[in-house]
Chains A and B, each alone.
Chain A
């Protein structure tokens, strides 16, 4: 892996690099995503989201798939950062437990790497409401792939 060839940024610089990125994919903007913490040592990140009322189910709460979307966003970004921005990792399988209702508005997700191997990555993430209550928890597997001539 080229991980060792590339100098690591500090956590603060990595955070700034992502926050200032002009190449955000549409899904990140759709979810109102903002990376707020990076801890490379612990292979952990934290994001906040502005969840749109456009994702409400008939009860007015956020439909589960959109909670999965936030968890997926955080777990995927966690792999990119853990690989020192050398790899991306398309999700193969993801399991989400929906513990509690989440209403549109602010939400927070913490994601961490369980194992980042050459042919497989294992991640987990939790979603919290503005009161700090855990509303969902997910685990996922992904295949790490080198970025093609990117950054």
Chain B
């Protein structure tokens, strides 16, 4: 097969037509590895995500993690693909600031034929862990 997986995903994740949810969480791709099954991106959550305490509301943190974990679950599949999330658990370890550059990382734990298991973290640039998640998703080819 002449499908260049890396080039395809560079196009989709870089300057490709981004879905609105991706823009909302300020997704900015850093690096990814289609063979090892991980992806990293920076995120900046907008003021619109603020809770009464002035930090990001948990669901918007979940949205950023879902983005990067879904990327990891998508790129490990054989061709153009998605990875719709079935279930996701998030631990909110520290308050997450809005308007600050955050580092998100998604990793595939297992790629099965019918299910993919992923995990993800959201940290400050100095490495302080803010939130951690695990998820299960299903492989869905777009080819």
B residues contacting A by CB (< 8 A) are 19-21, 23-25, 47-53, 57-67, 82, 84-92, 95
Contact A25 B57 (CB under 8 A): yes
Residue from A54, A64, A96 within 8 A of B20 (CB atoms): A54
Beyond the given A54-B24, A65-B66, A94-B62, could you list 16 further A-B residue pairs with CB under 8 A, ordered by the A residue number? Answer: A25-B50, A26-B49, A26-B50, A27-B48, A27-B51, A27-B59, A53-B20, A54-B21, A56-B21, A64-B62, A68-B58, A69-B62, A72-B58, A88-B52, A96-B87, A98-B85
Residue from B53, B58, B63, B67 within 8 A of A94 (CB atoms): B58
Contacts of B59 in A (CB 8 A): 27, 65-73
Residue from A27, A70, A95, A96 within 8 A of B49 (CB atoms): A27
Q: Is A130's CB within 8 Å of the partner chain B?
A: no
CB distance from A108 to the nearest CB of B (A): 16
How many residues of chain A are within 8 Å of chain B by beta carbon?
36
Sampled A-B contacts (12; CB under 8 Å): A25-B50, A26-B47, A54-B23, A65-B60, A65-B61, A66-B60, A68-B90, A71-B59, A90-B53, A94-B89, A95-B88, A97-B86
Contacts of B67 in A (CB 8 A): 63, 65
